[in-house]
């Protein structure tokens, strides 16, 4: 009997030394994950937001007039409030992308360091920061002034102030320069956890310079001195081939397929057709990319639907077969894009090595080849008087604006941003614009208005009003 009491006493003491919270831990649901896993997840979430065509998350293919809608035309007509699109975008970029990246930057330096891997960790932290810079750059170009200096700090700041967009741009370039100085090609980084460049540090160096070039060219009309400095510093080191494109390649099976495939195929819905604007333009130019961009309509022609109108799904061309592939990659930055920016820089007299015409032609060529076209198709295309740089109509903004807009197809935000900045092609408002204007930004999220009211009010006043046609600071023409 005494032995039983002793056993019970030992069990009681053991139980009393165990914390209740320790007993409530599910070993299959860890509360702490490796920093590299957070980076992979952030890359995937960022890719999903950039790639998506879901009308709750990303309507820029509609606003750039690459696609238009069939039965429900609200988003093509610029209604983003009904579905809370600004809130969804804001949450995705801050909560899903930037929060994971920040947490990863905290965790990784504290993880077990194997001797000789210190430089690889240094590279990892620089890549994390470049992804953060890319995300903030997108937030500024979507909204204008946004939380930055006090953002992603819920332990200390629940209601962050909004920073001036131009000041954010300047700080982003400072960060890029610091990251580039930190990246060291003699060591690795993330390896297979990096689903963009598979840990290749040289590619991330080119990514950083390309991001700097893009930020620099955005300032061309509002701060030409700073624009020229940043572009000239970055130009020799940007993405230099199609193989260097910053892309995330999706898989062929759910849940890791391209969101476009989910929206166009798995959904079973018939919401989108090609927009008349781009189809008519490409028909006029006899553009060889039509067969990749669109399907033929029942009459064997490329025909787009009216922008903002109700359109018959059966009657018009639809997104092409490449876009309905589950493994379609999402593009963050591309060689073709860099070539168009360099063409513009050359026209503006910046110190870049090459002519505007050569950069322009190479931008077109890279786009055609990326989509599966041939050198012969490219040569025939640029030989046309309406395409050739020397004879195409308009000034350099019109020529570069038109061809980059075509090349940016399936990159709705890039096409929409290029149109806002260069004012070409001359897109006309949709059939029934909700506010009577062509929008130049997303309005701020409703949640910010209700939960962060004082800072929201100050930000709205600073940018000239929280209106859909308030321009981002670089959009001065």
154 part of a folded domain? yes
146 part of a folded domain? yes
The pLDDT of residue 4: 39
236 part of a folded domain? yes
Q: What global pTM score does this model have?
A: 0.93
What's the rounded Cα separation, in Å, for the pair 272 and 307? Answer: 11
The pLDDT of residue 253: 87
402 part of a folded domain? yes
What 3-state DSSP class applies to 437? coil
Residues 6+ apart with CB under 8 A from 12: none
127 part of a folded domain? yes
424 part of a folded domain? yes
Instruction: Enter the tokens of residue 287.
Output: 């553009």
Residues 6+ apart with CB under 8 A from 466: 443, 444, 456, 459, 460
pLDDT along the chain (477 residues), means of 10: 40 44 50 86 98 96 98 97 96 98 94 73 97 98 98 93 98 98 96 96 98 98 98 98 97 92 95 98 98 98 98 98 95 98 98 98 98 98 98 98 98 98 97 96 97 98 98 96
Query: Count of domains in the chain?
Result: 1
271 part of a folded domain? no
297 part of a folded domain? no
In degrees and rounded to multiples of 5, residue 308 shows phi and psi of 90, -5
Instruction: Enter the tokens of residue 124.
Output: 């990892």
What's the rounded Cα separation, in Å, for the pair 342 and 231? Answer: 8
The pLDDT of residue 444: 98
The pLDDT of residue 477: 85
CATH code at 158?
1.25.40.390
For the chain, what is the radius of gyration of the CA atoms? 25
What's the rounded Cα separation, in Å, for the pair 398 and 409? Answer: 17
Give the relative orientation of helices 412-422 and 118-143 as an angle to the nearest 10 degrees.
60
Q: Look up the domain containing 387 and give its range.
A: 35-257+327-463
The pLDDT of residue 33: 81
What's the rounded Cα separation, in Å, for the pair 262 and 378? Answer: 32
């Amino acid at each position: 009997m005494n032995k039983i009491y002793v056993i019970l006493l030992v069990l009681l003491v053991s139980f009393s030394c165990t914390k209740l919270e320790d007993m409530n831990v599910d070993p299959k649901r860890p509360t702490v994950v490796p920093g590299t896993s957070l980076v992979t997840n952030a890359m995937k979430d960022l890719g999903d937001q950039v790639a998506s065509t879901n009308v709750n998350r990303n309507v820029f293919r509609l606003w750039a007039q690459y696609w238009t809608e069939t039965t429900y035309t609200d988003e093509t007509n610029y209604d983003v409030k009904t579905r809370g699109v600004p809130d969804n975008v804001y949450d995705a970029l801050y909560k899903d992308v930037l929060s994971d990246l920040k947490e990863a930057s905290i965790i990784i330096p504290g993880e077990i360091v194997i001797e000789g891997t210190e430089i690889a960790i240094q590279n990892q932290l620089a890549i994390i920061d470049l992804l953060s810079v890319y995300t903030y750059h997108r937030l500024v170009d979507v909204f204008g002034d946004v939380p930055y200096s006090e953002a992603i700090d819920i332990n200390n700041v629940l209601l962050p102030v909004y920073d001036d967009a131009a000041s954010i741009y300047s700080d982003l370039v400072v960060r890029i320069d610091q990251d580039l100085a930190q990246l060291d090609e003699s060591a690795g980084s993330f390896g297979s956890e990096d689903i963009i460049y598979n840990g290749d540090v040289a590619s991330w160096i080119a990514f950083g310079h390309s991001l700097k070039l893009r930020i620099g060219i955005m300032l061309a009309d509002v701060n030409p001195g700073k624009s020229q400095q940043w572009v000239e510093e970055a130009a020799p080191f940007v993405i230099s081939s199609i193989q260097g494109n910053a892309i995330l390649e999706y898989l062929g099976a759910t849940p890791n397929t391209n969101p476009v495939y989910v929206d166009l195929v798995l959904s079973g819905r018939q919401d989108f057709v090609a927009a008349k604007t781009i189809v008519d333009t490409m028909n006029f130019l006899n553009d060889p990319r039509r067969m990749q961009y669109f399907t033929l309509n029942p009459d064997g022609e490329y025909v787009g639907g009216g922008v903002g109108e109700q359109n018959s799904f059966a009657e018009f061309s639809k997104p092409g077969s490449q876009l309905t592939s589950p493994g379609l990659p999402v593009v963050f930055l591309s060689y073709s894009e860099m070539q168009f920016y360099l063409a513009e820089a050359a026209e503006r007299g910046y110190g870049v090595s090459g002519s505007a015409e050569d950069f322009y032609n190479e931008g077109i060529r890279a786009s055609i080849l990326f989509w599966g076209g041939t050198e012969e198709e490219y040569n025939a295309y640029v030989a046309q008087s309406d395409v050739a740089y020397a004879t195409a109509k308009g000034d350099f903004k019109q020529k570069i604006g038109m061809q980059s807009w075509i090349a940016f197809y399936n990159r709705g935000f890039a096409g929409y941003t290029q149109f806002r900045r260069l004012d070409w092609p001359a897109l006309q408002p949709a059939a029934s614009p909700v506010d009577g204007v062509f929008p130049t930004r997303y309005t701020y999220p409703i949640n910010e208005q209700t939960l962060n009211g004082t800072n929201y009010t100050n930000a709205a006043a600073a940018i000239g009003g929280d209106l859909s046609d308030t321009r981002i600071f670089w959009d001065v023409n």
